[in-house]
Amino acid sequence: MQTIFSPDAPKAIGPYSQAIRTGNLLYCSGQTPVDPSTMKIEAADIESQTQRALKSLEIVLRAAGLSLSNIVKTNVFLVDMNLFEKMSKEYAAMFGDHRPARTTVAVKGLPYNALVEIECIAEFK
């Protein structure tokens, strides 16, 4: 196993890694919309929070030599399923034509009172 770390992504707020590579898979920990430079959530709307979470995932993927196009599966955690449509629209815009498998679930709460958290599994080709 190999630990992946990017100083440009938000620092882990607990005892976990940003990502772990094992074999040809990369398991990325969930990213909330925390700004890496302030470690605070700067945006209040789901659209901006979704973009920020995916940009942070992209930074971690880049540190491993991958991109969003290498993602095979995402898990999206929302504090309110009424945000699903707006989140999904931003998610689709970030991924373009790439459509990894996805699960979206509602949760009672997220760190820093975020509206969304996104984790992924990516493949080295």
DSSP code for 7: T
- pTM surpassing 0.75? yes
Structural domain of residue 8, as residue ranges? 2-123
CATH number, domain containing residue 26: 3.30.1330.40
| Structural domains counted in the chain | 1
Cα 73 from Cα 25, distance rounded (Å)? 11
Give the model's pLDDT for residue 58: 97
**The token pair that represents 57 in the structure block:** 């995932």
Give the model's pLDDT for residue 92: 98
**Beta-carbon contacts of residue 119 (< 8 Å; ≥ 6 apart):** 28, 29, 30, 31, 57, 74, 75
Per-residue pLDDT of the chain (125 residues; tens, 9 = 90+): 999 999 999 998 889 999 999 999 999 999 999 999 999 999 999 999 999 999 999 999 999 999 999 999 999 999 999 999 999 999 999 999 999 999 999 999 999 999 999 999 999 98
**The token pair that represents 78 in the structure block:** 């929302």
Beta bridge mates, 54: none
Q: Which amino acid is at 82?
A: N
**The token pair that represents 53 in the structure block:** 């979470």
Cα 2 from Cα 95, distance rounded (Å)? 26
**The token pair that represents 112 in the structure block:** 């820093």
